Amino acid sequence: MTDVFGSSHKDTDPSPDGQARHEQVVFCADDRSGLRAIIAIYSTALGPGLGGTRFYPYESEQAALSDVLNLSRAMAYKNALAGLDLGGGKAVIIGDPAKDKSEALLRAYGRFVQSLGGRYYTACDVGTYSEDMDVVAKECSFVTGRTVAHGGAGDSSILTAYGVFQGMRAAASHTYGSPSLRGRRVGVEGVGKVGHRLVELLLDDGAEVVICDVSEQAVERVRTRHPQVDVVADAAALKAADIDVYSPCALGGALDDETVAGLRAAIVCGGANNQLAHTGVEKQLAERGILYAPDYVVNSGGVIQVADEIEGFDMDRARAKATQIFDTTLKIFSMAEEEGVPPAVAADRLAERRMSEVGRLRAIWLGR
């Protein structure tokens, strides 16, 4: 157990496997504003670590540390396969955003991010919004995910949905020989920010769409605009439905042993993070002949969108970059076949290869 914010600074490594592989983990505290944050930088092999700030009431410092270590590692892999010259980082602020968020706390946090000198760029995540990033940016130059009024990219779900659509087209191409989804029946679980935009892209492409959401309001929003969309009661009904593509766009952990066993879709491709409930599910999907488009590959449109702010945001340039998710996903499917591994394993290998091969180039001496 750690107790960095209390008294002991000795035991900050709960899992040598996790933290030992991170380049840098920084604990930040400011008593007056109540800030308690952890910034984790997994890798800067490709450039400064980019990842959002999660503001969440963790039960313990240990839980916050585990989360930030996992999230920053995941960002390194996502950024690498998105073709970005960015490494992986992430931050967590421990607290209830509804009660604890204040200007002073966000600005104190901004000063700690600034103190890293550009090794870490922050952005929005669960519990933080573009308006918060504008406040952080008063103290810090290394902030993305800002409001449009401040030159930011705005709602990142636009290119997240677009990227998922590109990944799905690649999966259709691999499975059916054509990227078109015309006439395919696609089940979208969760029609929030990402899901409802994906539904529109699918309908434009001629797909039949069936949706579910725990929020009646979210379902109604889609049905009002697109009465042709079918609705099923819940996620279990969607997974058991006669669909060609299953698209998890709600929470993580949508695919476990039981759901994979009952899945009728030929393709799984969605926007949700961490879709595989545990290691091994990727094998089970492959054994059942279901093509899984790795989540962090196809949902990288959002980070591509906010990363573009670093150069001065240009939506056309960001969209062109997100279009490449089609090629990357196809490449992963081919590599998976060639190497006899599930696509999730091929994706990890490809990301590690880029971090290693491109990261290594810094060893070339540039002279004085």
Ligand X SMILES: NC(=O)c1ccc[n+]([C@@H]2O[C@H](COP(=O)([O-])OP(=O)(O)OC[C@H]3O[C@@H](n4cnc5c(N)ncnc54)[C@H](O)[C@@H]3O)[C@@H](O)[C@H]2O)c1
**Catalytic positions:** 90
Measure CA 248 to chain center: 13
Smaller CB separation from ligand X, 116 or 195: 195
**Residue 195 known to bind ligand:** yes
Whole-number Å distance between alpha carbons of 187 and 241: 8
Q: How far is the CB of 267 from ligand X (least distance, A)?
A: 18
H-type alpha helices, the chain: 16-19, 61-81, 97-100, 103-115, 130-136, 157-176, 193-204, 216-225, 235-240, 257-262, 281-287, 295-298, 301-307, 315-323, 325-339, 343-359
Q: Dihedral of CA 189/194/196/202: which sign?
A: negative
Closest to 52 measured CA to CA, from 153, 149, 200? 153
Q: How far is the CB of 164 from ligand X (least distance, A)?
A: 9
Whole-number Å distance between alpha carbons of 259 and 182: 26
Q: How far is the CB of 124 from ligand X (least distance, A)?
A: 9
Smaller CB separation from ligand X, 48 or 145: 145
Q: DSSP characters for 179-237?
A: ---TT-EEEEE--SHHHHHHHHHHHHTT-EEEEE-S-HHHHHHHHHH-TT-EE-SSHHH
**Residue 331 known to bind ligand:** no
**Do residues 42 and 22 make contact, with C-beta atoms less than 8 angstroms apart?**
yes
Residues that bind ligand X (CB under 6 A): 156-157, 160, 189-195, 212-215, 218, 235, 249-252, 271-273, 299, 302
Smaller CB separation from ligand X, 209 or 212: 212
Q: How far is the CB of 367 from ligand X (least distance, A)?
A: 41
**Residue 190 known to bind ligand:** yes
Smaller CB separation from ligand X, 19 or 166: 166
Q: How far is the CB of 235 from ligand X (least distance, A)?
A: 4
- Residue 28: which residues within 8 A CB-CB, separation 6 or more? 35, 36, 37, 38, 39, 108, 109, 112
**CA of 71: how far to CAs of 143, 228, 351, 354, in Å?**
18, 38, 15, 19
**CA of 200: how far to CAs of 97, 165, 191, in Å?**
32, 10, 11
Q: How far is the CB of 197 from ligand X (least distance, A)?
A: 8
Smaller CB separation from ligand X, 84 or 218: 218
Smaller CB separation from ligand X, 286 or 306: 306
Whole-number Å distance between alpha carbons of 171 and 325: 11
Query: 């900050």: which residue's tokens?
Result: 12
- Provide the annotated binding site for NAD(+): 190-195
> Which segments are annotated as binding site?
190-195
